[in-house]
């Protein structure tokens, strides 16, 4: 049995030769630590803005959103995709995979449901179905 992994990789050769430098990684780590050291001060300021009746509604709303985003995390995007796949992805041709990818990427920017070939008409349901 052959070796696992990408057969195009050569032993001892990086797959990402220009990757992130140690210096940059250290700078980013230091910046995160510096920002974290001021977190309570920033939170106090955002709370002050949020509670101030002298601030405009837009500023108070933005302060509230920033507090929630940092405390609870950004709201997760939900994408409803209705797909009927007749074959395993591993059995699809490269062209079919590209077409699927284009349609899925389009779902991130579209507000309409994603329809793929072979999908049942969402309005006309087969006889005997609950839809």
The per-residue pLDDT for range 34-83, each reduced to its tens digit, is: 999 999 999 999 999 999 999 999 999 999 999 998 888 887 776 666 66
Q: Averaged over 83-101, what is the pLDDT?
A: 79
| Candidate from 5-14, 16-25, 101-110 with smallest mean pLDDT | 101-110
- The rounded distance, in Å, linking the Cα atoms of 23 and 69 is 30
The distance of Cα 33 from the centroid of its chain, to the nearest Å, equals 25
Give the pLDDT confidence score for residue 104 in this predicted structure: 78
- With CA atoms as reference, report the closest residue to 104 among 120, 121, 82, 89: 82
Query: What is the percent of the chain with per-residue pLDDT over 70, rounded to a whole number?
Result: 69
Per the listing, tokens 């992994």 go with 5
pLDDT score of 52: 94
pLDDT band at 20 (very low <50, low <70, confident <90, very high): confident
Secondary structure class of 18 (helix, strand, coil): coil
Q: What is the pLDDT of residue 120?
A: 46
- Cα(17)–Cα(119) distance, rounded to whole angstroms? 44
Structure-token pair, residue 129: 């179905």
Average pLDDT of the residues in 21-40 = 92
| Top-confidence residue, 112 or 77 | 77
Intra-chain end-to-end CA distance of the chain, in Å: 49
Task: Indicate the pTM of the whole model.
Answer: 0.43
For residue 101, pLDDT beyond 70: yes
């Amino acid at each position: 049995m052959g070796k696992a992994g990408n057969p195009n990789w050569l032993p001892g050769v990086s797959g990402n030769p220009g990757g992130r430098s140690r210096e940059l990684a250290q700078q980013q780590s230091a910046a995160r630590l510096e920002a974290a050291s001021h977190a309570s001060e920033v939170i106090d300021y955002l709370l002050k803005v949020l509670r101030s009746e002298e601030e405009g509604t837009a500023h108070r709303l933005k302060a509230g959103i920033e507090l929630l985003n940092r405390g609870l995390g950004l709201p997760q995007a939900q994408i409803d995709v209705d797909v009927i796949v007749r074959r395993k992805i591993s059995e699809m041709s490269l062209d079919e995979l590209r077409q699927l990818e284009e349609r899925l990427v389009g779902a991130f920017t579209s507000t309409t449901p994603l329809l793929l070939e072979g999908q049942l008409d969402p309005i006309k349901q087969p006889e005997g179905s609950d839809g």
